[in-house]
Structure 1
Amino acid sequence: MSKQLLIQLAGLHSFGFALFHLAFWKLFQWPRALSETNVATRAVTQILNLRLIYVFAGAGAACLVFTDDLLRTPLGNALLGFMSLFWVGRTIEQFVFLRINRPLVHILTALFVLGALLFALPLLSG
């Protein structure tokens, strides 16, 4: 598989997570579920989710529009490494904070690992 294709797949992966996060209001029954907490927690939760959507959409767009730049420039390589570490961290946080033994949670964890690999593999020599 070419490095360019891996980066483009990383872009699709990012767009997929942007769409997934757009569904959080319905999936987690926000704002009803958040109404049980204080105003600050309710606001911060939703703001952080919106910022994640923005980051995922931006990373996805960068991967599809600037594929070669990501592969061939130091800044592009830094962004690929940053996003790979983002997904490594998210995978670790899954085990720390979301200790739910359900198949969908395990699938989600696998998708986090996939993200780490899709962003890291183009950085490997060869």
Structure 2
Amino acid sequence: MTSNEIIVLLGGVHSLGFAVFHLAFWKLFDWPRALQSTNAATRAVAQILNLRLIYVFLGVAAACFTLPGDLLDTRLGNAFLAGMSLFWVGRTIEQFVFLRIDHPLVHALTVLFVAGAVLFAAPLFLQG
């Protein structure tokens, strides 16, 4: 196994971790109670978007675990890796725009977002 394949697999672990994290949102953020103060459309959209994001993270993890060679050796795979890196770059920027909270857990999440950007971009630059 090459170092780039290991990095792609770590990207899969990262994505799987975020899928599990998002599965916990209902309990972590007490969504049944907390979302009651919003209207029905906002409640639905928040939960639907979260469920779709879980699906995306699981799909990314599956691709990283089952197709590391394709992700590294094809233009489509490289575009996928670049797209995921840009996803995490965007998420990092959004953290500073929408979640301006000085808290260690918020800072830890920011580090994990940057880690995702680096994990998915690194194989593109290390291929030479």
State TM-score, norm by structure 2: 0.97
Structure 1 gaps of 5+ residues are none
| Aligned pairs for 1:23-102 within 5 A | 23-102=24-103
Is the counterpart of residue 111 in structure 1 residue 116 in structure 2? no
Number of equivalenced pairs: 126
State the percentage of identical aligned residues: 70
Match of 1:8?
Answer: 9
- Structure 1: distance between partners of 2:61 and 2:115: 15
- Structure 1: distance between partners of 2:90 and 2:64: 20
- Structure 1: distance between partners of 2:77 and 2:91: 21
Provide, for residues 42-99 of structure 1, a one-character-per-residue CA deviation record: whole Å limited to 9, x for no partner: 0000000000000000000100100000000011001000000000000000000000
- Structure 2: distance between partners of 1:31 and 1:116: 32
The one-letter code of the counterpart of 1:15 is L
> Cα offset for 1:31?
1.5
Q: Please list every run of at least 4 consecutive aligned residues from structure 1 whose deviation after the TM superposition is greater than 4 angstroms.
A: none
- Structure 2: distance between partners of 1:104 and 1:4: 30
Structure 1 vs Structure 2 CA RMSD: 0.9
State TM-score, norm by structure 1: 0.98
